[in-house]
């Protein structure tokens, strides 16, 4: 389980969890709560992705001498 | 160069993204983005192995250091712009993709301008 594949599986897991919780909550009538839960899930995943993109930007600046 | 490892990682990420798409499309895009970023990170670590011999060659040939760093910058810009534009196209944002590419093109033209100018001056000096 290399760190790269762990990141992808982590995000996929959160995505599935949020998707199924969303439908489950909608069935049980808590429509608005489901919307908020999906939003929070998306924001956390986006933070994880942004940390990788930030690392990529640093690497590109270092390798290609872009200031 | 673990090419098999990288290709396998890309395939796994593609499968995961397609499985995730019907349930949560926004998370599928996130999976594609993080997989693309990680693949580029893997490639970038090998890229510096390619670039350092080139720079040594340039130094031995007493080339102007400015030209080499400009060429490297242009390659870097091309890499990241192509990555972002293709990602935008995957998310069905064609208009955004073309705008990103436009920004990259303008950046490259600005970087290439001094080199073109110096070539022009060199040619003008040659003429009688």
Give me the torsion for CA of B71, B75, B76, B82, rounded to 10°: 150
Residue A1 has pLDDT above 80, yes or no: no
Q: For residue B112, which phi and psi values (nearest 5 degrees)?
A: -80, -15
Q: Chain A contact for B37, CB < 8 A?
A: yes
Q: Name the pLDDT band for B1 (thresholds 50, 70, 90).
A: low
* Domain ranges, ordered by start, for chain B: 1-47, 64-128
pTM over 0.95: no
Chain B residues in contact with A13 (beta carbon < 8 A): none
- Whether complex ipTM tops 0.85: yes
**Euclidean distance between CA atoms B64 and B76, whole angstroms:** 19
Chain B residues in contact with A22 (beta carbon < 8 A): 24
Using CB atoms within 10 Å of the CB of residue A33, give its burial: 0 to 12 exposed, 13 to 18 middle, 19+ buried: middle
User: Are B31 and B13 a contacting pair, CB within 8 Å?
Assistant: yes
Note the pLDDT tens digit of each residue in A29-54. Answer: 989 999 999 999 999 999 999 999 99
CB contact under 8 A, B76 and A16: no
The sign of the torsion formed by the CA atoms of B36, B37, B42, B47 equals positive
Cα radius of gyration (chain A):
17
Q: What is the pLDDT of residue A65?
A: 80
Q: Chain A contact for B113, CB < 8 A?
A: no
For testing contact with chain A, the best of B8, B14, B30, B66 (most A CBs within 10 A): B30
């Amino acid at each position: 389980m290399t760190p790269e594949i762990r990141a992808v599986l982590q995000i996929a897991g959160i995505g599935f969890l949020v998707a199924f919780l969303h439908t489950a909550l909608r069935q049980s009538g808590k429509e608005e709560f489901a919307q908020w839960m999906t939003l929070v899930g998306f924001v956390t995943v986006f933070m994880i992705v942004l940390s990788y993109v930030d690392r990529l930007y640093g690497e590109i600046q270092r390798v290609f001498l872009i200031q | 160069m673990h090419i098999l490892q990288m290709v396998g990682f890309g395939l796994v990420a593609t499968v995961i993204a397609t499985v995730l798409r019907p349930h949560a499309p926004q998370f599928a895009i996130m999976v594609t983005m993080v997989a693309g970023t990680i693949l580029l990170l893997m490639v970038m670590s090998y890229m510096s192995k390619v670039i350092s011999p080139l720079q040594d060659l340039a130094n031995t040939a007493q080339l102007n250091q400015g030209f080499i760093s400009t060429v490297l910058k242009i390659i870097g810009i091309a890499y990241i712009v192509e990555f972002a534009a293709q990602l935008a196209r995957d998310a069905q944002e064609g208009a955004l993709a073309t705008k990103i590419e436009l920004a990259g093109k303008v950046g490259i033209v600005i970087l290439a301008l001094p080199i073109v100018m110096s070539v022009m001056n060199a040619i003008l000096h040659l003429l009688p």
